[in-house]
Amino acid sequence: MNSKKKSLIVFFILTFSALSNVFGQAYQISLLTADPGDELYSAFGHSAIRVLDKMERTDYVFNYGTFDFNTPNFYGKFASGKLDYMLSVSTFASFVSEYDRQGRGIKEQILDLNPEETEFLLEFLQINYQPDRRYYRYDFFYDNCATRIRDGLDLVLGDKLVWRDEVKESDDKTFRNLIDEYVYYLPWADLGIDLALGAVIDVDATPFQEQFLPDYMFESFSRAEIVGDGPSRPLVKETLVLMEFPKVEKSLGLFNPYWIFWVVAIVFTAITYIGFKKKKLFIGFDLAFFGILGILGIVVTLLWFATDHSATKMNWNILWAFPGHLLLAKALWSKTLQSWVRKYLLFALIMADAAVVFWILGWQSFHPSLIPILLVLILRTNYLYYNIGKYRLTKS
């Protein structure tokens, strides 16, 4: 190769490198973290990527947390875990306006990426936004609006991205513990979540796994470093509070399951005592009680075996909320005592006791408000088992 060709190649390499640097320096990439909202769908906060073009003066937000309400069979797909989320793009102004309307603050972490890394990340976002790539199967714990951003950055930076998250045994939290931090003041939603999610979330989450929650990812980003392309530097160059609202004092509210379920337990204890004294069963109360538990059991069973939700597997709430309780309620309604009823009552009693054992041993954490419900189940199955053959069935 002659010297003229060599000079031409060097010229093009230098020119391309310079253009690449100019391209990369024109953009500012940031992680946006929105505060949790008051409704369940917004209770865990939100993450998005801001791309500011300082030369063209464009400002866009890439958002992995959107879905299409017009999807055919939307609610069926949502319930069965088959609903796809998608990457959407909006202007920064409209993004801020939406959270301002909701009264939710936004923090911004400007990332200290070099021009090549910036260009790679922009290319990654553009490819992911293609119509055939923008949809993904959502998983609350492992594939959501926050983890998609983290995994994209992990791909772009590779081994250069170091998470400075030290595991501290005293700070170990299960996935359920992490959720409870956000929904404690939404007691009915908290109860529903604990009913729906199984033992698979009662394991300690690593600091890396904790990043499924936007607030935890914000903290991890603030500690992370980029190494291997010069002096080590923090991943986050600057942190800004774009919007902030006063903290609102929260309470459980008067209508919550904690005291309501204890009232239910007191009522059932009273009717059991009165029934024992008057030699009656008061089956009407059991029809409602076991009917509700049976319906809950069907829901738990469907979530476990008939959906793609990974977090609803191995759900031992089925030990006390069992579909067979509906058959028991139907049998109790009948004036004729069927031979299998006492055997089923013994089975239900053993299952309820097993649920308590599972809870004590830590195999699954149940919602605290369920303590009186389990006590009622143990009380009534025990009472009916020993007395249903003695007293005439009466619908009271």
- Average of pLDDT values for 346-356? 97
Mean pLDDT of 236-265: 92
Specify the higher pLDDT residue, 24 or 287: 287
| Residue 83 confidence (pLDDT) | 80
More confident residue, 71 or 48: 48
**CATH class entry, domain 3-167+206-243:** alpha beta
The answer on pLDDT for 20 being more than 50 is: no
Say whether pLDDT at 166 is over 70. Answer: no
Give tens-digit pLDDT for 105-156. 999 999 999 999 999 999 999 999 999 999 999 999 999 999 999 999 999 9
pLDDT given for residue 11 in this prediction: 35
Residue 186 pLDDT > 80:
yes
pLDDT, average across residues 273-287: 93
Q: Is the pLDDT of residue 23 over 90?
A: no
Tell me the residue type at 134: R
- Look at 76 and 7; give whichever has higher pLDDT: 76
Q: For the chain, how far is it from start to end, CA to CA, in angstroms? A: 102
pLDDT band at 168 (very low <50, low <70, confident <90, very high): low
Give residue 74's pLDDT. 63
Residues of the chain with CATH 3.90.1720: 3-167+206-243
Structure tokens at 15: 């020119």
Residue 169 has pLDDT above 60, yes or no: no
Q: Which is nearest to 379 in space by CA: 270, 260, 259?
A: 270
> Is-contact 275 210, C-beta < 8 A?
no
- pLDDT value at position 167? 53
Amino acid of residue 360: I
- Is 13 a residue whose pLDDT tops 50? no
Give the pLDDT band (50/70/90) at residue 82: confident
Contacts 24+ apart (CB under 8 A), 318-322: 319/351, 319/352, 319/354, 319/355, 319/358, 320/293, 320/351, 320/352, 320/355, 320/370, 320/373, 320/374, 320/377, 321/195, 321/293, 321/294, 321/296, 321/297, 322/293, 322/294, 322/297, 322/348, 322/351
Would you state the pLDDT for residue 17? 43
- What CA–CA distance (Å, rounded) separates 261 from 370? 7
Q: What are phi and psi of 280, to 5 degrees?
A: -130, 160
Q: Are 309 and 301 in contact (CB under 8 A)?
A: no
Binning pLDDT at 50, 70 and 90, where does residue 260 land? very high
Lowest mean pLDDT among 76-80, 113-117, 162-166: 76-80
For the segment 210-225, the average pLDDT, to the nearest whole number, is 96
For position 5, what pLDDT does the model report?
Answer: 45
Residue 14 has pLDDT above 50, yes or no: no
pLDDT above 50 (res 363): yes
Q: What is the pLDDT of residue 19?
A: 42
For a pLDDT cut of 90, what percent of the chain falls above it?
74
pLDDT category, 80, cuts 50, 70, 90? confident
